[in-house]
A and B are shown apart, each in its own frame.
Chain A
Amino acid sequence: MKMVKLIIDGKEVEVAEGTTIMQAADQAGIEIPRLCYDPELKPLGACRLCVVQVEGNRLFPASCVTPVSPDMVVHTESPDIIEARRTILELLVANHPLDCMTCDKLGDCKLADYCYKYGIKESPFEGEKHAYAIDDSNPFIIRDLNKCILCGACVRACEELTGADNLSYLHRGWNRKATTAGDVDYIDSDSCVFCGQCVAVCPTGALQEKTMVGHGRRWEIDRVKTTCPFCGTGCNFDLAVKDGRVIGVLSNPDSPVNQRRLCIKGRFGWDYIYNEKRLTTPLIKKNGKFEEASWDEAFKLIAQRFTEIKEKYGSESFAALSSARCTNEENYLVQKFTRAVMGNNNVDHCART
């Protein structure tokens, strides 16, 4: 592999040929601002927030799509560059509803983060604002295209991470839109599989998890990394927890199997845990009807009956069905219980593998 040497912000950096300026800076620990770049998606070069100054070049190239060349001298935060970035941000907020005070995404919104960094309070450009209707047609995703900055991450995620090809760009210029085929609501789009990959990559409040809206800002949420309970793929994700309650699922890029990808079940199926039909207390059947009981009563009865039956009919008269839904530790305990306590090997788990 051929290596290339260059200088970024006075630091000498050596990277493989073909590396982009942004990747080279990342390797050197220099973070160039970025909105449309996403490490898991093909670079688009749309937002231009990642522009840098390259000595000897009058134009400011977008660092996420520009490869390094030998002896390049790059400045990532020169006054001209800062000015250029400010202009880009001002143009973006010119038609952005500045309701950050009530936006659930604040704290995890790149647009707000960069406006903060570059001191953009409002836009000097008198912008006409879009008045798109909010799409909350489905139980999972809220879409507010008034907050869309056309970074195209959702379009690429839908195509590259899921392959559903449900999103694309429509119209040109001011009316340009990243939306579903036919510009219909999500629920009416034929190819949406509600995987939520578009939500996971959206850098603004344009796409959000519906269950999380109104339940807390990102900095108030604890994230607990866990493994999906639905299929054998073994995706990881974070449970978002606020005040002892799960309010949603967030992708965790450090997931060995799935990275940020999930499916409808993993991302949106978790709400069964709060189904009002959950059993919350032991039940004992008396005269054909279930009656609430304490744990102690339940265990006492179980121990008494299991013991009686074992004594009367022998240890082969017991059988246990363990569960392919439960944890390894629970399964280990069930087989140990069957073998060590009940004294037989009648243990299996459900056939529907």
Chain B
Amino acid sequence: MTNSINEISTDAELMFLIGTNTTEAHPVIGYKMRQAARNGCKLVVCDPRHIDLVDEADYWLRQNPGTDIPLLNGLMHIIIKEGLEDKKFIEERTENYEELKAIVENYPPEKVSEITGISVDDLYAVARLYATTDKAMLFYTLGITEHICGTRNVMSCANLAMLTGHLGRAGVGVCPIRGQNNVQGACDQGALPNVYSGYQAVTNPDVKEKFEKAWGRPMPDKVGLKIPEMFEAAHEGTVKSMYILGENPVLTDPDSNHIRGALEKLEFLVVQELFLTETAEYADVILPAASFAECDGTFTNTERRIQRVRKAIEPIPGKANWESICEMFNYMGYPVNYDSPEDIWDEMASLTPSMAGTNYERLDKKGLQWPCPTLDHPGTQFMHAGKFTRGLGLFQPSDHIPPGEMPDEEYPFLLSTGRILHHYNVTTPYSPGIMSIWDREWAEVNPVDAEKLGVVTGDKIKVASRRGEVETAIKVTDRVLPGVIWMSFHYSETPTNAITSPHLDPITGTGEYKVCAVKLAKV
């Protein structure tokens, strides 16, 4: 996020939500949004589903799934036509405005209304409201990124914010709310194929030299494989061994049958996990993992705040995860001798300019938001004040890119997936408390479709796509549009990702979990 969570309560005058069911996926942020809306902050919700925050919203734009770019382009079209863009901001802080203008020119309200299903009046009202509100924060999550055009969607959000000067101050910004607890941190720490910690490119010779010196080994300068490429390479036989820490791609990644096949082909697989997951079943060696309560360390939240995780009990498997990973170094003949996670942090900070000013002592009470380059730097509540990281903000406009697979005669329903409140990916299904109430998938189906299928809430249906089929109980509700079925992916018994789309965002490799075509049958 460019900005901070508490600005919702203290600064924002308008919240523009697109593709984020915040009260379920990020409940505490959702509570704050609801509270702000009730205290007079304006709220616009763009979502095909009737999510909870719709009830607090001033405007609900119910776009057809997979039409976010036309929607955003349509809003920008109106803003430019009415002269509501922030000319000064565009002039001083951005480039490539002419291309944006040329592309959004082709998205007049009537056409956009046709593609998205949103009324022309609402398009005008929301465009004017967003452009003329001084402090407007834009939020999105997986509803934007988990599309074939995910990166383009994200850029379109940024275009809208730049066009109206909603960046670089408190109470504005483009705020992707990160899903998993430490997805921000995993990226920041360089668990990515193209960068070291702090987004230092592996292809940069100076960076390479720095790490070679620090780590005493020659460093590879070829960009590595992204997840889908890894599994592809395993299929092809070029990747032969893998180490997987604390993730269960068989359940969480799209097109799980493809992943199973890849794992089967590996010559050697090490999985470090809390539980014997679907992925761990394929391992040659399983290392037991310690939970968050058993380890010291840090997580970095969606607003870039690095916060302490503190060991409360002894590691149940006998070793904290950092200790077992260190042992792998040692047994591989690369001795490391960190005393503690704090030691590891200090090494990282010494090699990472954007976090050079952080240490456990400074993090202790309230954490620190990076960038924090020096010990006397207070951390960064909002980014891009006065200047973007790359200098000028680049408009990267895009045309409509329809989903990779749309409903057709054979597979007439559109399946969309997401999180539900009570579960978090694949850990909470191991919580006896939570599972005692929410123990199975409840797919959402519109009453119109339910009647046609002859099913009622509680019935079981079979959901099949070109890739496979799963069974699930259903809930009949008009939270979803007719023709759409919505499911989560938390339960091993209903492994939704066995049927999701194989299409990926070509730039990030993120799966198109939000749209694929399925057929439904009563069982």
Contact = CB atoms under 8 A, between A and B. Distances in A.
Contacts of A263: 27-28, 421
Interface string A221-236: 0101111111111111
Nearest to A297: B285
Given A347-B224, A351-B227, A257 B305 contact: yes
Interface string B175-189: 001111111111111
Given A227-B307, A309-B241, A344-B222, A241 B421 contact: no
A268 B294 CA distance: 17
Nearest to A318: B241
Interface string B291-328: 11111011111110111111111101111011011111
B268 interface: yes
Given A234-B301, A329-B322, A323 B197 contact: no
A182 B142 CA distance: 36
Nearest to A194: B422
A318 B322 contact: no
B225 A279 contact: no
A299 B332 CA distance: 9
Nearest to B35: A163
Interface in A313-337: 313, 315-337
B179 A262 contact: no
A266 B299 CA distance: 14
B427 A269 contact: yes
Contact of A348 (B230, B422, B433): B230
B273 interface: yes
Most chain B CB neighbours (cut-off 10 Å) among A258, A285, A321, A327: A327
B293 A347 contact: no
B29 interface: yes
A245 B238 contact: no
Contacts of B436: 139
Given A325-B247, A331-B182, A278 B26 contact: no
Given A226-B293, A299-B327, A233 B316 contact: no
Contact of A244 (B240, B253, B313, B422): B313
Most chain A CB neighbours (cut-off 10 Å) among B244, B249, B301, B322: B301
Contacts of B211: 339
Interface string A278-296: 1111111100001001010
A235 B298 contact: no
B285 A269 contact: no
Contacts, number: 456
Contact of B316 (A273, A316, A327, A340): A273
B240 A317 contact: yes
A39 to B, nearest CB: 15
B285 A284 contact: yes
Given A272-B430, A318-B242, A329-B298, A352 B252 contact: yes
Given A299-B331, A321-B227, A327 B239 contact: no
B243 A323 contact: no
A333 B94 CA distance: 38
A43 to B, nearest CB: 16
Contacts of B267: 305, 309
Interface of A is mostly: mixed
Q: Give the interface size class of chain B.
A: 35 or more
Given A264-B421, A280-B317, A333-B322, A324 B297 contact: no
A234 B196 CA distance: 23
Nearest to B355: A328
A328 B299 contact: yes
Contact of A328 (B177, B348, B366): B348
Contacts of B34: 163
Nearest to B224: A345
A328 B422 contact: no
Contacts of A281: 288, 317-318
A325 B285 contact: no
Contacts of B318: 280-281, 295
Contacts of A258: 28
Contact of A346 (B239, B273, B286, B310): B239
Most chain A CB neighbours (cut-off 10 Å) among B181, B196, B303, B327: B181
A341 interface: yes
Most chain B CB neighbours (cut-off 10 Å) among A161, A262, A316: A316
B299 A231 contact: no
B215 A277 contact: no
B421 A232 contact: no
Contacts of B194: 345
Contacts of B228: 351
B31 interface: yes
Nearest to B430: A272
A256 interface: yes
B433 A322 contact: no
A265 interface: yes
A283 B225 contact: no
Most chain A CB neighbours (cut-off 10 Å) among B186, B228, B233, B421: B186
Given A280-B317, A344-B224, A229 B427 contact: yes
B276 interface: yes
Contacts of B317: 278-281
Given A230-B181, A268-B433, A302 B233 contact: no
Contact of B308 (A227, A279, A350, A353): A227
B215 A336 contact: yes
A114 interface: no
A327 B252 CA distance: 20
Interface string A249-269: 000001011100111111011
A302 B142 CA distance: 36
Contacts of A334: 191, 243, 245, 325
Contact of B242 (A193, A285, A295, A319): A319
Contact of A261 (B28, B242, B288): B28
A138 interface: yes
B286 A352 contact: no
B388 interface: no
B434 A268 contact: yes
B171 interface: no
B181 A325 contact: yes
Given A272-B428, A351-B509, A327 B182 contact: yes
B220 interface: yes
Contacts of B347: 332
Interface in B482-508: 508
A225 B321 contact: no
A301 B285 contact: yes
Nearest to A197: B31
A318 B344 CA distance: 24
Interface of A: 138-140, 160-163, 187, 193-195, 211, 222, 224-236, 239, 241, 244-246, 254, 256-258, 261-266, 268-273, 275, 277-285, 290, 293, 295, 298-303, 305-307, 309-310, 312-313, 315-341, 343-353
14 contacts: A225-B308, A226-B292, A229-B292, A264-B27, A272-B431, A279-B288, A283-B285, A295-B324, A317-B238, A345-B222, A349-B191, A351-B253, A353-B178, A353-B179
Given A318-B241, A325-B246, A346-B224, 5 more contacts: A227-B299, A285-B284, A332-B190, A333-B322, A353-B142
Interface of B: 5-6, 25-29, 31-32, 34-35, 38, 56, 142, 145, 177-194, 196-197, 202, 211, 215-220, 222-228, 230, 233-234, 238-247, 249, 252-253, 267-268, 270, 273-276, 283-289, 291-295, 297-303, 305-314, 316-319, 321-322, 324-334, 341, 344-345, 347-348, 365-367, 421-425, 427-428, 430-434, 436-437, 508-511, 513
